[in-house]
Structure 1
Amino acid sequence: MSNMEVIDGLLMKNNGILTTRECKKMNIPFIYISRMIKEKKLEKIDRGIYISNDGDLDDYYFFQNKYKKSIYSYQSALYLHKITDRIPYKIEVTMYKGYNPHSMKKNDIEIHFVDKKYFYLGLTEVETAYGNKVRVYDKERTICDLIKHRNDIDEEIFRKAIYMYLACNDKNLSNLYEYANIMKIQKKLDDLMVLANG
C-alpha cells in the first residue's frame, strides 16, 4: 500500500481529519502532508492537525486532540450527552489539580480542577455530532458535578438537565448514587431526588 493510500484511508476513517501523530505511527514522511497542502487537498487547522476539503470542522475533536488530558464536563458534557436544549457558548473541561493549562487559557474555555483521585471517575467516550470520539464524563458524573457546584450553575440549565437525565432510558441510578457517595454529595442528591419525584 502506498503512502497516499494510507493517508486516504486515515482521512476516510477519521472523517476527513489527519494528524501528524498518526502519520508518524504509519511511518509516512511529512513531505506527503506538505504536498497535499500545496495541492489544496489539506488545510492546517492547528499544530499537527489537518482537514481535507470534505472534512468536518469538529471543534470538540480538535480541542481534545490538542489538549489530550482534558475531559469534557459540565455544560459541554450535557451537550455531548444530549441532556440539554442549549448549545454551550464556551467549552468546559476538567483537569486535575497541578496540571498547568497555560496555553489553554482563552475566553471561550472554562477549566474546572479536581483532585487526581476524582479525575477519572465516570470517564467515558461519546461521538460528537460529526462522528468523532471524545473523552467526556458520563451522564451520572456530570449530574453529580452540577449538584456539587449548583450555586455556580444557571438554575434553568440545572433543572432541565436533571429532568432530561431522569427521563433518559439509559440512566444508571446505581452509578449516580455511587458517584454521589464518593464525591460526598449524597444528602444533596437525596434531597434533589425527593423534589424531582414529588
Structure 2
Amino acid sequence: MELSLGVFRRADAPPASFPDLLAVAYRNSRAIVCLLSAAAVHDLTDEIPLAVQIAVPRSSRPPRISFPPTEVLRFEPSTFELGLTYLEAAPGEPVRIYDPARTVADLMRLRHRVGEPIALAALHLYLRRRDARPAELLKIAAALRVYGPVLHAVDVASAG
C-alpha cells in the first residue's frame, strides 16, 4: 500500500490510525508534527488541518512533500526537540510529535499565523485536561520567548 510517493507499507500491515502523519514521518525522519496537526491529535482543536504541519530545524533544508499536503515550518535548532514525544501512528510505527504543552505554546507563539481564537481555544482545552501541567507550559513558553502572552492567557483562563 502506497502512503506517499515512494513510501510503501506492507499490504498485510495493521491499519494506521494516522496514515498521513506516518507518510510524512517516513519521508522525513527528523520532522516533528506541530501546530494544528499536533493539536488535532491531542484533542486541543476542532479544526481540521488542511495540510500536515511539520517542523524541521531552521538550519536544515526543508523537505518537499507533495502528498499528503504538507506545510513545513522551520524552528530554532536550540529549542527544536523541546516537548518532543512520540505517537504510535500504526502499531509499532512511531511518529515524532510535540506534546500538548509545546503544541499550545507554539500555537500561542504563532497565533498571528493560525489565528488567535484557535490558539486561545487550544489553551483553554489544555488547561481543562487532567494531565495539564501549567508550570510546564510556562517553562516551554519562556524557552520559546512567548512567556508574557501565555501567562496572561493562563491568568485570564483561570479567572473565568
TM interval, short-chain normalised = 0.7 to 0.9
* C-alpha distance in structure 2 between counterparts of 1:138 and 1:60, whole Å: 15
What one-letter code is carried by the residue in structure 1 that aligns with 2:107?
L
The answer for the alignment partner of 1:77 in structure 2 is 38
SS at match of 2:10: strand
Give aligned pairs, total. 155
| Structure 2 gaps, min length 5 | none
The answer for the alignment partner of 1:104 in structure 2 is 65
What one-letter code is carried by the residue in structure 2 that aligns with 1:172?
R
Q: Could you tell me the TM-score, scaled by structure 1's length? A: 0.70
Q: Could you tell me the TM-score, scaled by structure 2's length? A: 0.85
Cα 1:181–1:63 shift into 2, 3 Å: same
Q: Deviations over 1:176-198 (max 9, x none)?
A: 11111111211111111122122
* C-alpha distance in structure 1 between counterparts of 2:123 and 2:97, whole Å: 18
> 1:20-169 to 2 correspondence within 5 Å?
43-45=1-3, 46-47=5-6, 49-53=8-12, 55-56=14-15, 58-104=19-65, 108-128=69-89, 130-131=90-91, 132-169=93-130
Q: Deviations over 1:9-65 (max 9, x none)?
A: xxxxxxxxxxxxxxxxxxxxxxxxxxxxxxxxxx44443522315643612112101
SS at match of 1:52: coil
Contact kept? 2:38, 2:103, Cα under 8 Å: yes
Rg comparison, structure with higher value? 1
| Structure 1 gaps, min length 5 | 1-42
Runs in 1 of length 4+ with deviation above 6 angstroms? Answer: none
Contact kept? 2:52, 2:69, Cα under 8 Å: yes
Structure (1/2) with the larger helix percentage = 1
SS at match of 2:64: helix
What one-letter code is carried by the residue in structure 1 that aligns with 2:155?
V
Contact kept? 2:52, 2:71, Cα under 8 Å: yes
The answer for the alignment partner of 1:15 in structure 2 is none
Cα 1:65–1:92 shift into 2, 3 Å: same
The answer for the alignment partner of 1:192 in structure 2 is 153
CA RMSD of aligned residues (A): 2.2
SS at match of 1:124: strand
* C-alpha distance in structure 2 between counterparts of 1:126 and 1:103, whole Å: 23
